[in-house]
């Protein structure tokens, strides 16, 4: 998508010379092998239960920084894991100790688990079936118990043979094209893989995906309960309704599209976003969905739901957004919902190829960089709020920068002595020039390979990649918009993502943000995969960094609150030591970030259960 006169990153040149026979190749002499399409069919049972582990010495592999090593490290970060742990496994502590004051609870982490089937097809990481991991921690005993299960969605049960354990992908998925099986005329597109995020609320554990209903999972055993409907209408009601977009041509187009989307492609009427929010002040779970047809129309209808601690619906609101935008993550304050509108447009040639099965369905969409500004919709949680009452909230605030927002860390509002309102948002944004629906994680759907160079721009191009920004929006006492500022957190400009904060202050002013980032020490993978956790002090304008060991990578972190201060608690994250085929649960002390003793404990997942990189997690306190 981006033209440049700069020389390509070295690994890009290497990647371009690789053959296209296999997507996640197996090196039979390497200890990295977990499960690949090129491996012979294994005779292990469908479920694997391990109850003991053998103590082994952890030896860092020799320092290697070359193109071949970087390429294969990247591939094996997304290598399939077909085994599951049905019974709790006590993890071995290899460094430090679980503190006695560690709160008792469970860290749930979801993400894709399988990328290659037994018949030659591969899928994009976003289309990999959800693999849920649970780490139950108990400070009083110092033990951590581990479970891992696939979420048994309808698609997962169809694509995995329960007798042999063999996989045959029959669903294309939004981001993939099947090499084997039915291509042309294959309408199995919306493959609900429940692989993006997880939340425990109201006694229910839910695994969410971007395109359909969540799946409920039993918290103790990780058994799949089934679909969980979040107050959505059934297909018949949507086919009959007149539309809620204000009438006109786009409501007519929506009614025309629904029979095709629901009847042919089996899409759900409401597309629930995978990112939820928890308001700790009101003790509410906030969810948002949009109509299925809105992906194809220059108008979106977002529905916000607020549930109390018993999962009772307290509030529901619809907002019509008069623009063709896509939302992945969002934010909230005491008074508002905040949507960053990533502008998109319909790609007609791509749509035709996608419908025919010759390219992924996501080929129907492309980014729309036609404007140099970014629309931000600040929508009232309480329609009767007098501060918000004088402004047309369907008109976006145009931020003076072109931002494609991936994830938000937090948002909060402040009122000065004159009654003026400021809304401040911390988020991760990238450039429209870099973002590409077809290449997320560097996946090449034609070859089935992952290209590390896409995520690792060369010198002078780093700012195109995801990085932290601060957006400030000012309103007058009458609620009328005044001005908007966008600032890079210039004391930490390195590419970063997966921002998190202490969840007990969500929606309130925060001083710290924790992000996954890179130390830059790997010449051929300088930006991604991430190898460090950064504690960004927004107020003090400082950064403290903890980095994994040689050739170790990390994903998203979660914060476990413990005391009254914002950084009282612990950070949990996973270290992916792909060079030795190991995964470790890490416990970090946020107050000691940047110091030699920041690592509190490291616990080893059995080698046979090492898993691919996860997406989003959740900390659930035992009650």
Residue stretches of the annotated binding site for Fe cation: 328, 407, 616
CA distance 198 to 476: 38
Which residues sit in the known binding site? 328, 407, 616
Instruction: Classify residue 198 by its DSSP letter.
Output: E
DSSP 317-331: EEEEE-S-EE-S--E
Point out which residues pair with 430 in neighbouring strands: 404
| Backbone φ and ψ of 16, nearest 5° | -65, -20
What DSSP element (H or E) covers 339? strand 336-340
Within 8 A by CB and 6+ apart from 426, the residues are 408, 409, 410, 411, 468, 469, 470, 471, 489, 499, 510, 513, 538
Q: How far is CA 253 from CA 243, 250, 261, 298, 366, in A?
A: 10, 5, 12, 11, 20
Task: Report the DSSP pairing between strands 481-488 and 467-475.
Answer: antiparallel
- Angle formed at CA 497 by CA 492 and CA 499, multiple of 5 degrees: 85
Q: What gap in Å lies between CA 243 and CA 250, rounded to an integer?
A: 9
SS3 label, residue 112: strand
In sequence order, what are the beta bridge partners of 343?
325
Residue corresponding to tokens 């110092």 = 142
Residue with the two structure tokens 């469970």: 106
Rg (CA), the chain: 23
Kindly state the tokens that stand for 478. 């009458």
**What is the distance between the alpha carbons of residues 577 and 485, in angstroms, rounded to a whole number?**
40
Residue 479 burial (CB count, 10 A):
16
CA angle 181, 183, 187 (to 5 degrees): 110
Alpha carbon distance 478, 419 (integer Å)? 9
β-bridge mates for residue 371, sequence order: none
First to last CA, the chain: 50
Q: Tokens standing for 433?
A: 């020039």
Token pair 């469908």: residue = 46
Residue pair 369/432 in contact by the 8 Å Cβ criterion: yes
* Interatomic CA distance for residues 9 and 20, integer angstroms: 20
CB 378 within 8 A of CB 331: no
- Is residue 584 within 8 A of residue 577, CB to CB? The reply is yes
Contacts of residue 394, Cβ cutoff 8 Å, sequence gap at least 6: 319, 320, 321, 322, 377
């Amino acid at each position: 998508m981006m033209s440049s006169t700069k020389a390509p990153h070295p690994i890009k040149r290497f990647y371009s010379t690789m053959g296209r026979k296999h997507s996640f190749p197996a090196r039979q002499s390497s200890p990295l092998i977990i499960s690949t399409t090129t491996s012979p069919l294994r005779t292990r049972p469908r479920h694997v239960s391990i109850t003991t582990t053998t103590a082994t010495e952890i030896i860092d592999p020799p320092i290697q920084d070359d193109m071949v090593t970087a390429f294969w490290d990247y591939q094996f970060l997304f290598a399939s894991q077909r085994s599951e742990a049905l019974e709790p496994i006590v993890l071995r502590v290899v460094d430090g100790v679980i503190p006695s004051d560690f709160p008792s609870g469970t860290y749930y982490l979801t993400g894709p688990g399988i990328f290659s089937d037994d018949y030659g097809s591969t899928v994009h990481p976003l289309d990999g079936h959800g693999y849920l991991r649970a780490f139950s921690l108990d400070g009083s005993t110092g033990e951590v118990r581990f479970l891992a299960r696939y979420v048994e969605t309808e698609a997962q049960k169809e694509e995995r043979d329960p007798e042999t354990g063999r996989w045959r992908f029959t669903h294309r998925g939004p981001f993939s094209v099947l090499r084997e099986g039915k291509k042309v005329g294959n309408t199995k597109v919306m493959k609900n893989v429940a692989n993006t995020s997880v939340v425990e609320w109201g006694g229910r554990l839910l695994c969410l995906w971007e395109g359909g209903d969540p799946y409920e999972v039993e918290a103790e055993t990780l058994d799949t309960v089934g679909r969980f409907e979040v107050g959505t209408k059934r297909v018949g009601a949507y086919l009959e309704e007149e539309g809620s977009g204000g009438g006109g041509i786009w409501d007519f187009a929506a009614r025309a599209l629904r029979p095709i989307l629901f009847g042919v492609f089996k899409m759900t009427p409401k597309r629930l976003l995978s990112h939820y929010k928890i308001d700790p002040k009101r003790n509410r779970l906030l969810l948002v969905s949009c109509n299925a047809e809105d992906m194809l129309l220059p108008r979106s209808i977002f529905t916000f739901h607020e549930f109390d601690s018993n999962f009772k619906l307290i509030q529901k609101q619809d907002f019509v957004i008069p623009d063709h935008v896509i939302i992945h993550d969002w934010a909230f304050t005491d008074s508002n919902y905040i949507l960053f509108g990533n502008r998109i447009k319909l790609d007609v040639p791509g749509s035709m190829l996608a419908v025919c099965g010759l390219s992924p369905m996501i080929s129907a969409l492309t980014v729309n960089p036609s404007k140099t500004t970014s629309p931000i919709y600040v929508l009232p949680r309480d329609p009767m709020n007098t501060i918000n009452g004088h402004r047309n909230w369907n008109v976006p605030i145009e931020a003076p920068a072109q931002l494609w927002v991936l994830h938000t860390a937090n948002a909060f509002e402040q009122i000065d002595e004159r009654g003026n309102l400021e809304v401040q948002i911390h988020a991760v944004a990238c450039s429209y020039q870099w973002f590409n629906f077809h290449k997320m994680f560097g996946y090449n759907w034609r070859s089935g390979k992952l290209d590390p160079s896409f995520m690792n721009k060369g010198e002078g191009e780093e700012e195109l990649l995801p990085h932290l920004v601060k957006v400030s929006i000012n309103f007058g006492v009458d609620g009328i918009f005044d001005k908007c500022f966008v600032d890079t957190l210039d004391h930490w400009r390195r590419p970063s993502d997966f921002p998190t904060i202490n969840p007990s202050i969500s929606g309130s002013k925060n001083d710290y943000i924790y992000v996954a980032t890179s130390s830059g020490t790997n010449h051929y993978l300088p930006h991604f995969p991430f190898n460090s956790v950064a504690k960004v002090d927004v107020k003090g304008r400082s950064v403290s960094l903890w980095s994994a060991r040689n050739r170790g990578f990390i994903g998203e972190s979660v914060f476990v609150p413990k005391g009254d201060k914002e950084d009282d608690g612990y950070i949990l994250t996973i270290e992916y030591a792909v060079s030795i085929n190991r995964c470790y649960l890490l416990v970090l002390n946020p107050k000691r970030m940047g110091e030699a003793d920041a690592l509190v404990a490291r616990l080893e997942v059995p080698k046979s259960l090492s898993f691919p990189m996860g997406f989003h997690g959740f900390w659930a306190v035992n009650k």
